[in-house]
Amino acid sequence: MLNDPTDGALSRLGASGVEPSSDQVQTSSTGNPKIRIPRLGTAPVSAHRQRTSRACAPCHQRKTKCDGQKPQCKQCRQLGIPCTYVGSKREQQKWALESVQAKIQSYESLLQRIITDSSEDPSKFKLIEELITVHKITDRRQEKLLTKNLYAEIQRLWEVEKHLKSLPTAQSSILIGLLCCTFGLDRFGTQYIMHGAQLCLNLGLQNESPSYFYGGAPDEYGHLARSHKLVAWAVKVPAWKEPPPVKFSPIEAAGLDAGVEWSPYPFATPISQPFFFTAACFRSDLVTIVHQIAKFALQFPDAVMNNDDWEYGRQLHQKLLQWKATLPPVLLLEHNTTPHIFCANLGSTDDQISNPKDFDPYIIMSQALDDMGSLILLFKRCHGWKSLPVVMLHYFCVAGVHSVSKLNAHEPKWSYILEDCVVGLWHMSLGWGRLCTAFLRTIELVLKQNNPDPSLVPSRVVEIFRKLNEGALWTVTDISSLAADYVVYTATQSDSSSSPSSAYRYQGLQDLINDMDNLSINLSSESPESLSSVKEPYDSRSSEDPDIRKT
């Protein structure tokens, strides 16, 4: 039997080599074992291999070769620029992790100190709990609840502090009143404003040197005097017996107005000089004259007007004309068209009556109303519907009602005045919704009562009234919330034989709405002749005032 020549070699290899493991030895089908040939291993890597240095930030930005020397590489040294190195991504992650760990340790130590201190003094921990609840992140889905809670908190704090005789309490009362007027709770807002005015009266702010302001303290730079003059005229004057005697002098007002600029919100241009303090100076003189007129008007219609009363009325009108003649140029619309200057000129007339001795209040009032409508057109041209003062509510209502009686095909300007008044009230209803609704309804009721030619009524006016009538236009709460101290004048057609006084009718806004409430304004798409449905009017004067907290 011949032997395989490789058997000896395999035997020698197996004898001299390592004993193969069980998984390396396989048995062939004939029973002869097979051994795997071991593979050659890779050469070991040297531990001292040279690595490529990281380029500095300037070289990396310029994409130039950097030798990586620190603290300054060769390129930066030759160029004379600072050499900085940015850590690798792994180093940056390591630094960020170390920073977070340091913050966590700081917070843990602070929390441990709070726990230790609160165990000794529990009031400190209670204070922290209150701060957490105050600065809690709000949820927009809970805005209605937050509003109710805020209103309840305002009421609670007001009940605690409303009897404190201090200027902050008076100012808070006035601000709450303005907030109520914004919500349409005009009657309650007026009560709050009058309460704030009464507090100012109790503090003696109507005097020239009230102890509350001065109290023996020196006023070297006049700051206290300026604050007193501003605050004394910033309250509802009817709560006082007469206007305060303190006011800014023209020279003092001119110095305070120097350098003051105004631009229509929220725009940065155009920029103009408003002359706020100069206007306040001359406004105080106007308020004094108006106070005398109001005291005189309270005597009528109960008393019978005689010749002496008529002469006194003529003298008051002459005072108004003299006041208008003494206005400086900066308060005239020819030189200043800022909104508050418009408000100062609204209601006054520039037309002199032909014969000053023929004093006729109704002709004077008609001229003033005509000029008011023209000034509203000018205001719209100068400012549009930006920076509308709150007092424009009343001017829009008065001029809008007056324009209804002036609608004429030969005078198209009154159609534009009616449109501007209605659109202006519609824009202002975003902030003064309920009060604007009352004024808009007043204009609509007067418009339907006069029944003018439909072609004279602008389409925008018709559309606004249609939108206004789509929802619940008027409720019992709306009527009872009005302050009822607005007077609406309407002009009527009168023959030449009647007296001038019969050409005008005046009535309080609340009485006007109650008396005209039998007109159904829910059928605005129909003709005025079809508005014949009569419903029982609601008299809010017979009911008690609703509680503001319930409202």
286, 192: one domain? no
Report pLDDT for 4.
Answer: 47
Q: How far apart are CA 399 and CA 529, in angstroms?
A: 25
Biggest CA-to-CA distance, the chain = 167
Report pLDDT for 247.
Answer: 82
Report pLDDT for 220.
Answer: 67
In a domain, residue 50? The reply is no
Which residues of the chain are under the pLDDT cut of 50? 1-24, 353-354, 484, 493-496, 499-502, 518-551
In a domain, residue 333? The reply is yes
203, 302: one domain? no
Q: Tens digits of per-residue pLDDT, 258-279?
A: 888 888 777 777 888 888 888 8
CA dihedral 145, 149, 155, 160 (to 10 degrees): 170
Q: Are strands 25-27 and 487-491 parallel, antiparallel or unpaired?
A: unpaired
413, 474: one domain? yes
441, 492: one domain? yes
Provide the β-strand partners of residue 487: 508
Report pLDDT for 253.
Answer: 86
188, 308: one domain? no
Q: How far apart are CA 97 and CA 88, in angstroms?
A: 14
Q: How far apart are CA 507 and CA 485, in angstroms?
A: 10
User: Can you tell me which residue has the tokens 């709000």?
Assistant: 138
pTM, two decimals, is 0.58
In a domain, residue 66? The reply is no
In a domain, residue 167? The reply is yes
Asked if 53 contacts 66 with a C-beta cutoff of 8 angstroms, the reply is yes
The CA-atom distances, in angstroms, between 66 and each of 54, 57, 89, 146, 505 are: 8, 10, 19, 63, 95
* CA 266-271-275 angle, 5° bins: 105
Q: How far apart are CA 418 and CA 400, in angstroms?
A: 5
The CA-atom distances, in angstroms, between 144 and each of 40, 89, 151, 412, 430 are: 81, 49, 11, 47, 18
Question: Count of domains in the chain?
Answer: 2
451, 408: one domain? yes
DSSP structural state of residue 455: G
In a domain, residue 76? The reply is no
The H or E element spanning position 31 is none
352, 408: one domain? yes
327, 450: one domain? yes
Q: How far apart are CA 215 and CA 203, in angstroms?
A: 12
328, 342: one domain? yes
Report pLDDT for 522.
Answer: 36
Report pLDDT for 536.
Answer: 34
Q: Which domain holds residue 186?
A: 144-212+223-246
171, 315: one domain? no
For residue 88, the SS3 value is coil
Contacts of 393 (CB under 8 A, 6+ apart): 425, 428, 432, 435, 436, 439
For residue 295, the SS3 value is helix
In a domain, residue 95? The reply is no
480 CA to centre of own chain: 26
In a domain, residue 120? The reply is no
317 CA to centre of own chain: 38
Q: Tens digits of per-residue pLDDT, 70-118?
A: 888 988 998 888 888 887 778 888 888 998 999 999 988 888 887 787 7
Count of Cβ atoms closer than 10 Å to residue 231 Cβ: 19
Average pLDDT, the chain: 73
In a domain, residue 36? The reply is no
Q: Which DSSP string do the residues of 190-253 spell out, in sequence order? A: HHHHHHHHHHHHHTTTTSSS-TTT-TT---SSSHHHHHHHHHHTSS-GGGSSS--S----HHHH
Q: Which of 381, 294, 379, 380 is nearest to 344 (CA)?
A: 379
508, 395: one domain? yes
313, 365: one domain? yes
Strands (E), 55-126: none
For residue 33, the SS3 value is strand
